[in-house]
Amino acid sequence: MIHQYIERRSNTIQTESLVFDRCILTLYSSIREKAPWLYTLLLSSRTSSFMGFLNYDARFMTVFQDTHRLMARLGIDPDEIYGDLHQYNTYRKAFERKICYWQCRPMSEEASCVVSPADARALPGSFKTGQPLFIKDKFFDYDELIGIDRPKWKKAFREGDFIICRLTPDKYHYNHVPVSGTVVDIYEINGRYHSCNPGAVVKSVTPYSKNRRIVTVIDTDVENGTGIGLVAMVEIVAMMIGRIVQCYSGIRYESPQTLQKGTQLIKGQPKSLFRPGSSTTVLIFQHNRIQFSQDLLANAERTNVQSRFTSGFQKPLVETEITVRQTIGEAI
């Protein structure tokens, strides 16, 4: 079955080319049923790192002399590249590229807006029962996602809203800050390396809350903040993603720093880097603090799009392709 989404700028239906689709679906069906020990092994940290090495390093050790040809093969616009184009002469370097986001990914100057953390395919949702966007125990388990041992944050975000931002392997893999505010907590939760292929997500049980992830809680009700309450930014690894590197920069990509409690964040600036592969970022907002953009809400409920989430979960769930720093909602 194909998987489709809506391209935001043109409002057209697009069909996703899923990497290793047949292999991944086999892993989540026959292998999981007939060889559970192998299924568990393939989702481990060691195996995921080894697969990432084979896919992004071992088979791509060749240095490309013609970087324009490499960019064309990967569907990357060379005019977006930050720095010397010729330094991106291997597949890994190309996937971990920096871009002139201040030029090619413009951002609204509206102080109350929330922006996309990544070039991704996004799906809004709600934890509150009775809401059209209510999605329970499909993509993740709420308590697991935030952390079983984090009662303060589980209480703060209960009945709130969220948006899932799924990055595909070809995307720019830096995460940017979606809001301005102060880091009040940051912690890592260990876990597996489930694929974020839509077919695998449907066949798994709440995979996003089973994977290794980093949770950053940002207080935006501060001076020069976005004024949207607490926001949890959950960065989730996936198959072949070995690490999430925290590298916040207040100016372009200069002087990257790791985050800690008290760090002041500026909306739209680079926060972290996913190593190559597919990965996911989930933004969680407190109850009744955000109004998602109307086009994202309308697209999510479209019935004329062949989404694997729609067929798998038996309700319209359609992603919209967005770019980093685009507006995805506003503070209420």
Highest mean pLDDT: which of 73-82, 173-182, 188-197?
173-182
pLDDT reading at 288 higher than 50: yes
pLDDT category of residue 43 using cuts at 50, 70 and 90: low
pLDDT reading at 305 higher than 70: yes
Strand partners, 211: 192
Q: What is the pLDDT of residues 55-72, one digit of tens each?
A: 555 544 455 656 777 788
Average pLDDT, the chain: 84
Q: Is the torsion defined by CA of 297, 314, 237, 153 positive or negative? A: positive
Residue 39 pLDDT? 46
Helices (H) and strands (E) in the chain, counts: 12, 16
pLDDT reading at 278 higher than 90: no
The fraction of the chain above a pLDDT of 70, given in percent, is 76
Compute the average pLDDT of residues 41-50.
50
- 12-26, 122-136, 173-187, 305-319: which range is least confident on average? 12-26
Q: What is the pLDDT of residues 83-97, one digit of tens each?
A: 888 888 777 788 889
CB 24 within 8 A of CB 200: yes
Q: Which residues contact 270 (CB under 8 A, 6 or more apart)?
A: 101, 174, 175, 176, 177, 247, 248, 249, 253, 256
pLDDT category of residue 267 using cuts at 50, 70 and 90: very high
Give 198 or 289, the one with higher predicted confidence.
289
pLDDT category of residue 274 using cuts at 50, 70 and 90: confident
The count of C-alpha atoms lying within 13 angstroms of the C-alpha of 106, restricted to the half-sphere facing its C-beta, is 3
pLDDT reading at 103 higher than 70: yes
Q: Which residues contact 258 (CB under 8 A, 6 or more apart)?
A: 246, 247, 248
Residue 6, token pair as written in the block: 């809506």
Give 39 or 165, the one with higher predicted confidence.
165
Compute the average pLDDT of residues 259-279.
90
Q: What is the pLDDT of residues 190-240, one digit of tens each?
A: 887 666 667 667 666 566 777 888 999 999 999 999 999 999 999 998 755
Compute the average pLDDT of residues 19-48.
51
Residue 73 pLDDT? 76
Residue 212 pLDDT? 84
pLDDT reading at 125 higher than 90: yes
Q: How distant, in Å, are the alpha carbons of 147, 153, 236, 300, 315 from that of 209? A: 9, 15, 8, 22, 21
Give 135 or 261, the one with higher predicted confidence.
261
Residue 30 pLDDT? 47
Residue whose pair of structure tokens reads 């979606």 in the numeric block: 178
